[in-house]
Structure 1
């Protein structure tokens, strides 16, 4: 028996991986976050599968379901939105499963920031413009940020910055990033990336807060900040240069 932590993708049901879909179809127990995982994915589950919405369950209750399935010799598909490697609360589940002696495996998924970049039609790393991507969040209504990971400190690099779980604090985000990035730095907010009701709000640090409020974006959004969003004048990558290909 194995608990499969499966990245369900950013929202579109067809963005789950082939491996993830296969495991989902083979697991008699499925735990999913009803508020984030597309319900269309549940149709892949085998007939008679036990489907458990974890949206209102505590960590202890979630682990208890996994341990019960383990005792019955049943594989578990644990669906997480996006990719399990970032902001998924998988680490504490793994820690509890280790203590309980329950085996698990991880299946990666398409992260929300990748879906947002696809919707924006932009590469986040552009030659001589931006070669670093920072994935972060803010601390309101969540665990505290570690020392040195506040936005003002991270922003000093002027790297492409992706903020999850932060759109409700857009004013504070702007205030923290303005000193390093400047008011004309491009910003895009992608709400519900890849879903039918996806919404994109574009602007700069000078006006993005008001644009986001006017659009009514309050949750399930990714904030992208950095010059890569609008870069047009930059050298071609060395990857396909004539000198490299002929050497």
Structure 2
């Protein structure tokens, strides 16, 4: 059996209880060495074979999985965050299916959740944005034309951008060309939930200069949208003037807007 486990965003205690149990039982672990916190490997037993996939090809990873599974060993493929986001697991599971090797997937906490926690932000604020676009800039890995940053930016929804910290000059330009006003609030969250986490708040037009000043070139998420501004409408679900299946409204209906001032920029480690 092969189990794909989401390691979480970085902090050791943010792996799921299920994922932790799989690591403790593992005979073989193949982990994404450039991204997964190596402290998690301390959960493995003393006889566990550990492979760093940063130095391996897909074929080499599959070979280790197959040899282990054929011998009845517990094999864990440890991915960063949640395997479903930029995890390249489909190409692995397809081959395992072709070879008749069973597998399962254990979800994990994505770094975009860790970034929201670091920002103390809610991505879906009433009256501001009810959609979250998770995407990346085209680089060495291409992006479909219909999913270009310019195209997605036209919606002006909350946007969380992965794998693009080294392309911030191009990203900044694309966001503005796509429709975000230059003064739209933005943030760069470096290594969310790790001990050296850093949060940098800025405007869209300041993304490149902010990253350069903070010397951030990788392992960071970019968050863009008015949800970082502070103002929003109170949720209807808990509004005393809004009826639900569990309680009746008891005051006249009234939309309420909440305003909360935020510092425009901050950094912390």
- Indicate the residue corresponding to 2:174 in structure 1: 176
> Where in structure 2 are the equivalents of 1:72-111 lying within 5 Å?
72-111=71-110
Following TM superposition, by how much is the alpha carbon of 1:231 offset from its aligned partner in structure 2, in angstroms? 2.5
How do residues 1-247 of structure 1 correspond to structure 2 at under 5 angstroms? 2-142=1-141, 144-179=142-177, 180-232=179-231, 234-242=232-240, 243-244=242-243, 246-247=247-248
After superposition, give the CA deviation of every residue in 1:70-98 in whole Å (9 maximum; x if it has no partner): 11111111110000111011111111111
Q: Partner residue of 2:261?
A: none
Q: Is the 8 A contact 1:129 1:231 kept in 2?
A: no
Quote the Cα distance in structure 2 between the aligned partners of 1:197 and 1:108: 24
Could you say which structure has the larger radius of gyration? 2
CA distance in 1, matches of 2:37, 2:173: 34
Aligned-residue offset at 1:201? 1.3
Higher relative contact order (CA 8 A, sep 6+): 1
Scaled by the length of structure 1, the TM-score of the pair is: 0.96
How many residues of Structure 1 are paired with residues of Structure 2 in the alignment? 244
Query: What CA distance in whole angstroms lies between the structure 2 residues aligned with 1:146 and 1:211?
Result: 28
CA distance in 2 between partners of 1:208 and 1:138 (Å):
14
Q: Name segments (4+ residues, structure 1) moved above 3 Å.
A: none
TM-score normalised over the length of structure 2 = 0.89
SS at match of 1:202: strand
Partner SS, residue 55 of structure 2: coil
Q: Whole-Å Cα distance in 2 between the matches of residues 33 and 145 of structure 1?
A: 23
Unaligned runs of 5+ in 2: 249-269
Deviation at 1:124, TM superposition (A): 0.5
Q: Unpaired segments of 5 or more residues in structure 1?
A: none
Contact 1:133 1:161 in 2 (8 A): yes
Deviation for aligned residue 1:244: 2.6
